[in-house]
Chains A and B, each alone.
Chain A
Amino acid sequence: MKGPSLLSDELLRHLMAVGQVDVVVGLPTLNHAATVGGVVRAAHAAFAAGLKRERTVLLNVDGGSTDGTADAVREASLVAAETLVAAQPLRTVHGISAPYHGLPGKGAALRTLFAAAELLDARAFVLLDPDVTSVTPEWVGGLARPVLREGFDYVAPVFSRAPGEGPLVTQLARPLVRAAYGRRVLEPLASELGCSVRYAAHCLTQDVWSAPFVNYGIDVWLTTTALAGGFRCAQAALGPRRQAPRAQAPSLPELLRQVVGALFACLERHQAHWVPREGAEAVETRGEPGRAEAADPPDPAPLAEAFRAGVRDLAPVLGGILEPATLEGVKAAARDEVPAFPDALWVATVVDFAAAFHGGRIHRDHLLGSLVPLYLGRVAWHLAATTGADPAGAEEAREGLCLEFERAKPELVRRWNAAGGR
C-alpha cells in the first residue's frame, strides 16, 4: 500500500481543488498535438450540452510530450471556454492537465486516471483516445449516461463500420471474445470506454500494471476483465471512428503480436471464468449502430500472395503449431488463386494457435509472427466474399463466423486444458 505514489503532488493539488465530481473524462496523451484539440473541444461541448447538471472535469494526463501537446490542450480548452460562456452552463467546468508518474505508456496513464477518478469519488469515468478525429460531444454522453443513470459498470463503444473494415476485430477479436466469455461485445479492442468507479477501483487492485502487455494490450484486458468480473456491461453506439495516421504506428506483424498476444494472455488470466461458460448472451446497447460507407474496397490479391508465400515458407514452423488436419486445410487453401479460408478452417487455426500459446511449446513471439500470413489469407477470402455484397449479407457472414466460434468452444476448451496440463 505504501509504495511510490501514483499521483504527483501537482496532480493531487489539482484534484483537491476540483473536489468531488460526477463525471471524469480521462484523456491520456503522449505527443498528440495534431489531434488532441478536437477531442478536448468535443469533451467541453459535451459538458455544456449533454451533462449540464453534472459536476464534470476533463483530466488530461501526459507522459512527457515534446511536440507541444500541452499547449494544444490548453489552447483547445480556451477556445472551448469561450464557446462555453456563450452556452451559459450552470456550473464551473474544470480541466486538469498534469504529467503522470511511471514509464510513459497507456498502462501508467490509465492507472493514474483510475486513481484520480476514485479519489474524486466520481460516479462515472469516460476514457477517450486523443488520436481519434471523429469524436463528437455525444461520445462522452453516450459512454457516461448508462453508468450515471442506469447503474452499469462498463460501457463499450459500438462504431459504425464499413463492410470489410477492421478485420482484426470482426474476424478474430470479436468472435473469439464472444465465444470465450459468452457476451456479445462488438468492439472488444476499443480504446474508448465508460465505467463506474467501482470498476475502476477493481482494476486498480489487479496485478496487471507491471505485466508486459499493459501498454498495448490494456484495452482488451479492460474489456475481458469487465466480462469476467461479473460487472454489468452495456454498449453505446457512437458513430464512425476515424483515426489520424501516426508516424510510429506499428506494422501489421507488430500489431498482431500486440493484439493477439494480449487476447491470448487475457484468456490465460481469466481462464477460471471463461472455460466453464456456455453460450453467448447479448449485451444491452444504447443507440443505433448505423453503418459507414465503404471507401473503395482494398485489393485482396496482395494479401492472398502474402498468404501463399507465408504458408510455403513457414511450413516447417506451422507444422509445429497446427494440427495435421488444419495444416492440410491451410496448404490446400494456399493452392487456390483466391484462398479458400472458410469459417471452419479459420476457427480451427485460431484454436490451434491459442492452444499452442497456452502450451508454450514454441516461443510466443514466433508463434504470433507465424499467424500473420494466415490472417492475411483469411482477410483476403473475407474481402473477396463480401465485396459487392449487401450490408445484410455482410452482417450475416460476420454472425456466421461468430456462431462457428461458439460451436468450436468445447474444442477450444479441450485443447486449452490439454495444453495447460502438459
Chain B
Amino acid sequence: MSTDPHWYKDAVFYELHVKAYCDSTGDGIGDFEGLLTKLDHLQELGVDCVWLLPMYPSPFRDDGYDISDYLSIHPDYGSLADFRSFLAAAHDRGMKVITELVLNHTSDQHAWFQAARSSPADPKRDYYVWSDSDEKYQGVRIIFRDTERSNWAWDPVSKAHYWHRFFSHQPDLNYDNPAVREEIWQVMRHWLDQGVDGFRVDAVPYLIEREGTSCENLPETHEVLRFLRRRLDEAYEGKVLLAEANMWPEDVRPYFGDGDEFHMAFHFPIMPRMFMALRLEDRKPLVEIIERTPPIPEGCQWGIFLRNHDELTLEMVTDEERDYMYEEYARDKVARINLGIRRRLAPLLDGDRRRVELMNALLMSLPGSPIVYYGDEIGMGDNVYLGDRNGVRTPMQWSGGWNAGFSTADPERLFLPLISNAVYGYQAVNVESQRRSESSLLRWMQRLIRVRKSTRVFSRGTIEFLKPRNHRVLAYVRAHEGEAALVVNNLAGTAQAVELDLPALAGAIPIEMFGRSLFPRITEAPYVLTLGPYDFYWFRLRWL
C-alpha cells in the first residue's frame, strides 16, 4: 500500500454502496462480509481506493445520508468487526478505503437531536440551530425545492423552529458551537482509528449561517474546515478529505484553501460537458471548462467522474445547455429528476462500446483522479422507473445465475430489483462472463487502468490543449517531470483526419501506449493523424 502522502493524486477511485454490492447473509441487502469476497475483482480492475456510500444507522429517508448514529455500522450491513475485517482485507490488497462524512446535518432520529429537542436547557440544545421564528436568514435558497417549502421546520416537541438546508428530517448542526466541532472531530477520529484512509465530505458549503448572506461558502465555514483539517494533520498521516461542492471550479477553489482545507474536491462541471462534447461532436465545452479551472495548491487534486450515485447533474450548465442535454440524453422525461438525468453510463451512450471506451479514456487521461462508479466497468444498465435515483443503484451483476450472484435471497426480497431486460439484464451483462472473454469491456477497462497507471503523466501532469482546426478532435499534451504524452480523441462518430501543430515537440517519436507501435517522428511540419469513429490515441513521447 502506498506510503506517499499524496497517494490520492495517483489513485483510481471506485464508488460503491455496500448494500448494492454483495449479500452474504441472504437477506437481499449487501453487507461487508459479501463486499470482502469481491475485493479480488476490485484489485484485478486496478482500483486503488474504495469510496463507500453511507453505511451508518439511518431511518433511510435520504438513502442513508440522514444519519442517526455516526459511530456504528447499520446492522443490515454487518457489525463494526465486519467492517474492520473488510478494511484489513482491502489494505492487504494495497487498496485504501474512504467513507462518507455527513457534516452538515444529522437525522432527526439522532441521539443529539433527541436530546436537543427535549429541553432548551439541555447541554446538547446548541448542537442545532434553533429559532423562535422562521424569519431569520431570509432569502436563502431551498435546495430540495421539489419537497421543501422552507429552510425552517417547526418542532412540536421543543416548540421552536430548527434550521435545515436539506430535508426537514435532517436538522443542520450548529458549527458555531465549539462542542459540535469537537464532536465531529471525535467522529472522524473514531473512523480513522478503525483504519479508514479518509472521508468524502458531504454538503460542505452549508455549515455556517449568517444573517444577510446566502449562508453558503462563508469564511466561517472555511474556518471550521481548517479546524478539522488541522486536527487531522496533527494526529494522522496520509489521509484524504474529498469535498463534495457542486459549484463552478473557481467557487470550489476556496475549499482547497492554501493546502490547509480539503485535499481533493469533485470537479462537477466537467462531467456534463464530456457528454455534451460527445453529442455536439465539438471539443469546445470541455476545453473551456478545463481552461477556466484555476490552479490548485501543490498537494491538492481534482476528482473527476462520468457517473455517480446521484443524477447526472445539470446544475452547472446554462439553460441552453441543459435543454440540449435533456433533448439529446433524456428525451423520455421519466429519466429526468431534480436538475439532472438519472441514467447510468452505458444507457446514456446507447450501449455503444466505442463511445463507452472513449468516455472512459477521457476520464483516465484528463487532469484529476478518476472515480469509477460501480457497475460501469461492465456497462451495467439502469431502471428509470424506480423512484428517486434508485435506478442507478441496483444490485451489482456478478453472474448470469440466481439474482446475478448478488444474493441467495428470494428475488422479491432484494433491496431493489435487478436489471433484467435483454440488453442490460444480468444474464447479458455480468462480471463472470466478461472475465471469461478477453474482448469484454471489463478486460478493456483493466487494460486501460493499467496503461494509465504505467506513468504519472496523467495523474500529476500539466495539460496543454492543442486546438487543431478540426473541432471534432480533442487533443492535448500532458507533461510531468520530463515525461510527455500526446492524447488525441475523435469525438465524432465518423472517421476524421486532423493536422496537429507540434513544433515544440519536434524530434519526439510517438509510441502508442496500448500496443507500443512506433509512429512517424514529429517534425516542425503539421503532424497528420487519422482516427476512426470515437477513436483515441495515447502516445508516449520519446526523444531518442
Contact = CB atoms under 8 A, between A and B. Distances in A.
A50 interface: no
B517 interface: yes
Interface stretch (A1-9, A171-179, A337-345): A1-9
Interface residues of B, number: 14
A15 interface: yes
Interface string B271-314: 00000000000000000000000000000000000000000000
Contacts of B517: 16, 19-20
Interface stretch (B209-217, B389-397, B492-500, B518-526): B518-526
B544 interface: yes
A9 B519 CA distance: 12
Interface of A is mostly: loop
Nearest to B516: A121
A115 interface: yes
Contacts of A120: 518
A20 B516 contact: yes
Contacts of A5: 507, 543-544
Interface in A170-191: none
The listed residue with most A CB atoms (<10 A of its CB), out of B518, B542, B543, is B518
B515 A2 contact: no
Contacts of A118: 544
Interface string B319-342: 000000000000000000000000
A6 B518 contact: no
A119 B543 contact: no
Contacts of A2: 507, 543
A1 B518 contact: no
Contacts of A20: 515-517
Interface of B is mostly: loop
Contact of B544 (A7, A16, A19, A121): A7
Contacts of B515: 20
B482 interface: yes
A115 B544 contact: yes
B518 A15 contact: yes
Nearest to A116: B544
A119 B507 contact: no
A399 B251 CA distance: 76
A332 interface: no
A12 interface: yes
A19 B518 contact: yes
B509 interface: yes
Contact of B518 (A3, A9, A119): A119
Contacts of A121: 516
A117 B520 CA distance: 17
A1 B543 contact: yes
Interface string A221-247: 000000000000000000000000000
B378 interface: no
Contact of B521 (A1, A12, A19): A12
A121 B521 CA distance: 17
B542 A119 contact: yes
13 contacts: A2-B543, A3-B543, A9-B521, A12-B509, A12-B520, A16-B517, A16-B518, A16-B519, A20-B517, A118-B544, A119-B509, A119-B518, A120-B518
Given A1-B543, A13-B520, 14 more contacts: A5-B507, A5-B543, A5-B544, A7-B544, A9-B521, A12-B520, A12-B521, A15-B518, A16-B518, A16-B519, A115-B544, A119-B511, A119-B518, A119-B544
Complex A-B, nearest 3 residue pairs according to Cβ-Cβ distance, in ascending order: A121-B516, A16-B518, A115-B544
